[in-house]
């Protein structure tokens, strides 16, 4: 009974805060294709939109019409918006290269920031963002879809509980047929195919998932070395960036192979984790195939969705800003893991350029 009462108390104490005090949020940019999620959250009252920064008037007109937005919400200067509407938090939806600009503007104003993956296009920018967050005591989160997957959480729990033995090999497969093939907006495609704005092509766009998950599984440990191969299978479409990338991360006792591609037959985001006594394969967001002993059969585990606020990045952001949720030191969204992600990606980019292994330690 006492556990039931405690659970009920947690539910009661968690949910009303959203209704009483929604987080005042502003958006920095509209060109990133994931921004539409914010405007399609029926029944959610944990965020209230107070401003939108965007310099592209065509985008402003399109979103104002699409979502019937008040024109007073829009600003063409980031600093002016921040000073006038005074948000508690900003979610960045522009080029990855502009994340550093958003954090530089928000941090001294004590405004929390959430960016789309990856955190930055360069390790130098990632370290500066971390320094600014520490100096001004703000949260800087990175939104990864795979952070919401119940399957990945289940696999991590098996590993932490010793059910898989000692970690030896991880394979992470992420990507789709290609952004142009999927029909992303012109603005988003322009970001993804400009190495200055996105860092690279598939290498950064989908290589970041594997680097994020592996760093999380190993509680922040960095690889000894990074080896990467990139290629343009479709140079007629992707003239400036790679559309195919494979990355090998070598650790003292484990290896991670990341397959990031804009050439998959279908979209995929899956992970295979092999230990000394068992394995677990996160097939999709809610399905795990696992075998926990050599003489045991393989089981298929169907998992329920994670509870609120983990199914919605903006709900999670609000819960962190409001102090309802404290992130673990090596959380998938957190700065320590994601600064290392950018370090890995930069090393992978250099490895592919030089055609040799890059050593981090």
197 in the same domain as 104: no
Residue at 271 is within a domain: yes
| Tens digit of each residue's pLDDT (9 = 90 or more) over 110-136 | 999 999 999 999 999 999 999 999 999
Q: What is the CATH number of the domain that holds 215?
A: 3.30.360.10
The pLDDT value given to residue 20:
56
Residue at 248 is within a domain: yes
Of the candidates 97, 95, 84, 137, which has an alpha carbon nearest to the alpha carbon of residue 113? 137
293 in the same domain as 233: yes
89 in the same domain as 227: no
Residue at 226 is within a domain: yes
Q: What is the CATH number of the domain that holds 121?
A: 3.40.50.720
Which helix (H) or strand (E) segment is 286 a member of?
none
How many structural domains does the chain have?
Answer: 2
Average pLDDT, the chain: 94
248 in the same domain as 221: yes
CB-based contacts of 230, cutoff 8 Å, min separation 6: 200, 201, 202, 203, 242, 244, 245, 352
Domain boundary among 94, 127, 145: 145
Cα four-point dihedral sign 206, 212, 215, 220: positive
Residues of the chain under the 70 pLDDT cut = 1-20
252 in the same domain as 104: no
* Nearest-angstrom CA–CA distance, 217 and 273: 10
The pLDDT value given to residue 1:
35
Q: Whose structure tokens read 């960095």?
A: 222
* Nearest-angstrom CA–CA distance, 206 and 244: 10
CB atoms within 10 A of CB 22: 17
The pLDDT value given to residue 361:
72
256 in the same domain as 208: yes
Q: Whose structure tokens read 């590993």?
A: 159
Residue at 127 is within a domain: yes
Domain boundary among 145, 166, 200: 145
* Nearest-angstrom CA–CA distance, 196 and 288: 37
Residue 170 pairs in a beta bridge with 256, 273
- Enter the tokens of residue 275: 């230990």
221 in the same domain as 170: yes
127 in the same domain as 42: yes
What count of Cα atoms within 13 Å lies in the side-chain half-sphere of residue 318? 28
351 in the same domain as 271: yes
96 in the same domain as 6: yes
188 in the same domain as 62: no
Cα four-point dihedral sign 208, 214, 220, 224: negative
The pLDDT value given to residue 339:
98
Query: Could you tell me if 69 and 30 are in contact, meaning their C-beta atoms sit under 8 angstroms apart?
Result: no
The pLDDT value given to residue 320:
97
Residue at 328 is within a domain: no
The pLDDT value given to residue 274:
98
Which residue range is the domain that position 204 belongs to? 149-304+334-359
Residue at 322 is within a domain: no
Residue at 124 is within a domain: yes
Of the candidates 212, 206, 215, 207, which has an alpha carbon nearest to the alpha carbon of residue 167? 215
The pLDDT value given to residue 137:
98
Domain boundary among 79, 113, 145: 145
Residue 278, SS3 per DSSP: coil
119 in the same domain as 47: yes
CB atoms within 10 A of CB 166: 11
Residue at 163 is within a domain: yes
């Amino acid at each position: 009974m006492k556990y039931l009462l405690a659970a009920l108390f947690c539910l009661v104490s968690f949910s009303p805060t959203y209704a009483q005090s929604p987080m005042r949020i502003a958006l920095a940019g509209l060109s990133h294709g994931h921004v539409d999620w914010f405007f399609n959250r029926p029944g959610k009252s944990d965020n209230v939109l107070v401003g939108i920064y965007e310099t592209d008037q065509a985008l402003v007109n399109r979103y104002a019409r699409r979502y019937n937005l008040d024109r007073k919400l829009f600003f063409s200067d980031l600093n002016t918006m921040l000073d006038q509407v005074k948000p508690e938090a900003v979610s960045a939806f522009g080029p990855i290269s502009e994340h550093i600009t958003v954090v530089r503007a928000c941090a001294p104003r004590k405004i929390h920031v959430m960016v789309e993956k990856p955190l930055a296009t360069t390790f130098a920018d990632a370290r500066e963002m971390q320094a600014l967050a520490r100096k001004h005591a703000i949260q800087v989160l990175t939104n990864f879809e795979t952070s919401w997957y119940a399957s990945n959480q289940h696999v991590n729990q098996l590993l932490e509980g010793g059910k898989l033995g000692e970690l030896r090999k991880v394979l992470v497969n992420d990507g789709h047929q290609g952004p142009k093939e999927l029909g992303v907006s012109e603005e988003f495609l322009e970001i993804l195919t400009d190495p200055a704005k996105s860092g690279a092509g598939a290498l950064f766009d989908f290589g970041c998932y594997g680097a994020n998950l592996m760093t999380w599984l190993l509680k922040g440990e960095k690889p000894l070395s990074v080896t990467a191969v990139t290629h343009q299978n479709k140079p007629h479409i992707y003239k400036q960036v790679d559309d195919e990338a494979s990355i090998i991360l070598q650790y003292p006792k484990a290896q991670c192979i990341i397959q990031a591609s804009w050439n998959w037959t279908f979209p995929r985001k899956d992970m295979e984790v092999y230990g000394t006594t068992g394995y677990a394969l996160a097939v999709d967001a809610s399905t795990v195939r696992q075998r926990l002993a050599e003489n045991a059969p393989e089981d298929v585990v169907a998992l329920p969705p994670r509870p609120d606020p983990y199914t919605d990045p903006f709900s999670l952001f609000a819960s962190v800003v409001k102090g309802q949720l404290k992130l673990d030191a090596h959380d998938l969204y957190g700065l320590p893991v994601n600064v290392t992600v950018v370090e890995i990606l930069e090393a992978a980019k250099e490895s592919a350029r030089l055609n040799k292994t890059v050593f981090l330690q």
